[in-house]
């Protein structure tokens, strides 16, 4: 009697690193270059908040304080989005040991890339970040400003500052990262999956190194 093959696990790359390290920027470039699906849990959560869903209402208070949204909410949100067969880049997940263990049961990872950035550079960068309200494109008033002040180069949309990009919340996010997420480097090092790059360099230069270490 023939048995149905067990469903193939989806494959992916995880991007780790402190807030502002450039995970979202590099993930977008990688997704385009390698034709992978870009999954950002921060982005999905912000959309849920915007739409006023039950998950969004629960998540908002944690996000505004710079704390992590509880594991069970984020894991449930992610499940279903990791459709098997298609490759993906995970940006902002996992962030706790619980999440990493759940992910291990759901997918097969090819690589985990950690982008390092110092706390001072994190605060400097994120205080200068602006995001387009319409298309979500990211800018930085220091390193990557828009051509016209306050307007998106791509779609002309209005640029805004994220609620959690205020200096005191940024520092809180950085502490949460150190306590909850940085230990995942050891978790993935033990599994032979971790590769690391220094994030304090121009976007395109960093991208070339990222491609190199992922090869």
Query: Is residue 8 within 8 Å of residue 188, measured between CB atoms?
Result: no
Residues 45 and 65: their CA atoms lie apart, in Å, by 14
* Residue of 14, 93, 103, 112 interacting with ligand AP5 (CB under 6 A): 93
* Residue of 36, 74, 103, 112 interacting with ligand AP5 (CB under 6 A): 74
Residues 143 and 79: their CA atoms lie apart, in Å, by 35
Residues 104-123 that bind ligand AP5 (CB under 6 A): none
Query: Is residue 66 within 8 Å of residue 176, measured between CB atoms?
Result: yes
Concerning whether 95 is annotated as a catalytic residue, the answer is yes
Query: Is residue 97 within 8 Å of residue 184, measured between CB atoms?
Result: yes
At 204, list the tokens.
């395109």
Residue 185: Cβ-neighbour burial (10 angstroms; 0-12, 13-18, 19+): middle
* Residue of 98, 118, 127, 144 interacting with ligand AP5 (CB under 6 A): 144
H or E stretch at 206: helix 203-214
Is residue 98 a contact point for ligand AP5 (CB under 6 A)? no
Is residue 12 a contact point for ligand AP5 (CB under 6 A)? no
Is residue 129 a contact point for ligand AP5 (CB under 6 A)? yes
**Cβ 157 to ligand AP5, closest distance in Å?**
16
**Cβ 6 to ligand AP5, closest distance in Å?**
27
Concerning whether 172 is annotated as a catalytic residue, the answer is no
Footprint of ligand AP5 on this chain (CB under 6 A)? Answer: 17, 19-25, 41-42, 45, 62-63, 66-69, 74, 92-93, 95, 99, 125-126, 129, 138-140, 143-144, 164, 173, 199, 202-203, 206
């Amino acid at each position: 009697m023939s048995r149905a093959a067990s469903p193939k696990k989806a494959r992916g790359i995880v991007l780790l690193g402190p807030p502002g390290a450039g995970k979202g920027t590099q993930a977008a470039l990688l997704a385009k270059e390698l034709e992978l699906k870009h999954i950002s849990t921060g982005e999905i959560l912000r959309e849920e908040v915007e739409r006023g869903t039950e998950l969004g209402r629960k998540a908002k208070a944690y996000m505004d304080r710079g704390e992590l949204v509880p594991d069970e909410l984020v894991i449930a949100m992610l499940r279903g989005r990791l459709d098997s067969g298609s490759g993906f880049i995970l940006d902002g997940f996992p962030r706790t040991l619980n999440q990493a263990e759940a992910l291990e049961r759901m997918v097969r990872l090819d690589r985990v890339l950690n982008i390092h950035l110092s706390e001072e550079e994190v605060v400097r960068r994120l205080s200068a970040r602006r995001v387009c309200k319409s298309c979500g494109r990211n800018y930085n008033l220091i390193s990557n400003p828009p051509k016209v002040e306050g307007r998106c180069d791509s779609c002309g949309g209005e640029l805004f500052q994220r609620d959690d990009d205020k200096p005191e919340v940024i520092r809180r996010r950085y502490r949460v990262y150190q306590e909850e997420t940085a230990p995942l480097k050891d978790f993935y090092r033990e599994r032979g999956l971790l590769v690391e790059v220094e994030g304090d360099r121009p976007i395109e230069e960093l991208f070339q190194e990222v491609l190199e270490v992922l090869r």
